[in-house]
């Protein structure tokens, strides 16, 4: 009798395991289906505070006395319900002209090629179209005067930085911007835009991730 009960338990566990495995495979398949070029809801324009990046990447080209403040990290297609498409097909290499255009926007060739392969391919615009959209998006955001590159560290609360951006960019909604920090240091400012590159609300999962107190902005390098 004990053996029969043990066999029954093993059968139930086996079917449960198959169900979990099937569910995981189904979820993975759905994720692959979702990553289709042009199928997304809005853009997330990500601007990195270069001095923070350079604290841990001293050998990067942008960190050799360029004096950068905010630089383009990327223009990322996003889903309103959370998540994003990635590395969409076809993943074509950048042409000479496209690479030349990209290097007027991105701080390094490595970053350009990474952003195109992972995010740009999912825009559905083609490489040049994606780069032109990135150019337009960056041009649409006015960096607050208080956050232009400076020679000494400054400290602000995250809500103060968000407020500066909204005041400098009329039409940017309260839920249309998010800050990312690395510990006590500002890393990125992310601005949500619709497909026409107008300011809009951020989707699920896009929110400020910084401490409640003062956060530091390292000086330009």
HEC letters along 78-139: ECCCCCCCCCCCCCCCCCHHHHHHHCCCECCHHHHHHHHHHCHHHCCCHHHHHHHHHHHHHH
Superfamily grouping for domain 37-217: Ribonuclease T2-like (3.90.730.10)
pLDDT of 72 strictly over 90: yes
What pLDDT sits at residue 61? 80
Q: Over the stretch 181-193, which tens digit does the pLDDT of each residue have? A: 999 999 999 999 9
- 73 counts as catalytic: yes
Q: Greatest CA span in the chain, whole angstroms?
A: 80
Q: How far is CA 78 from CA 159, 194, 199, 212, in A?
A: 24, 10, 14, 27
Q: How far is CA 13 from the centre of its chain?
A: 40
pLDDT of 74 strictly over 90: yes
Decide: 151 and 221 in contact? Cβ < 8 Å: no
Which of the following is catalytic: 73, 98, 162, 188? 73
Which of the following is catalytic: 98, 115, 162, 188? 115
What pLDDT sits at residue 3? 52
**What does the alpha-carbon distance between residue 142 and residue 21 come to, in Å, rounded to a whole number?**
48
Which of the following is catalytic: 30, 92, 98, 119? 119
* SS3 sequence of the chain: CHHHHHHHHHHHHHHHHHHHHHHHHHHHHHHHHHCCCCCCCEEEEEEEEHHHHHHHCCCCHHHCCCCCCEEEEEEEEECCCCCCCCCCCCCCCCCHHHHHHHCCCECCHHHHHHHHHHCHHHCCCHHHHHHHHHHHHHHHCCCCHHHCCCCCCEEEEHHHHHHHHHHHCCCCCCCCEEEEEECCEEEEEEEEECCCCCECCCCCCCCCECCCCEEEECCCC
**Total-model pTM:** 0.83
pLDDT of 133 strictly over 90: yes
**What does the alpha-carbon distance between residue 135 and residue 170 come to, in Å, rounded to a whole number?**
19
Average pLDDT, stretch 187-200?
Answer: 98
pLDDT of 26 strictly over 80: no
- 34 counts as catalytic: no
Of the candidate ranges 19-28, 140-149, 164-173, 205-214, the one whose mean pLDDT is the lowest: 19-28
What pLDDT sits at residue 66? 77
């Amino acid at each position: 009798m004990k053996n029969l009960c043990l066999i029954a338990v093993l059968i139930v566990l086996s079917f449960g395991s198959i169900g979990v495995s099937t569910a995981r495979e189904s979820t993975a398949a759905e994720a692959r289906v979702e990553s289709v070029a042009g199928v997304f809801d809005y853009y997330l324009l990500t601007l990195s505070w270069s001095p923070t990046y350079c604290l841990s990447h001293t050998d990067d080209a942008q960190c050799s006395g360029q004096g950068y403040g905010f630089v383009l990290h990327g223009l990322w297609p996003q889903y309103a319900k959370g998540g994003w498409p990635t590395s969409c097909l076809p993943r074509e290499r950048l042409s000479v002209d496209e690479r030349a255009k990209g290097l007027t926007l991105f701080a390094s060739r490595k970053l350009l090629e990474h952003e195109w392969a992972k995010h740009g391919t999912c825009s559905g615009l083609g490489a040049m179209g994606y780069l032109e959209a990135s150019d337009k998006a960056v041009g649409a955001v006015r960096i607050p005067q208080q956050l232009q590159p400076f020679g000494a560290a400054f400290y602000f609360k995250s809500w103060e930085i968000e407020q500066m951006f909204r005041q400098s960019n009329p039409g940017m909604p309260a839920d249309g911007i998010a800050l990312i920090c690395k510990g006590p240091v500002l890393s990125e400012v992310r601005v949500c835009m619709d497909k026409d590159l107008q300011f809009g609300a951020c989707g699920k999962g896009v929110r400020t991730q910084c401490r409640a107190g003062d956060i530091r902005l390292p000086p330009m390098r």
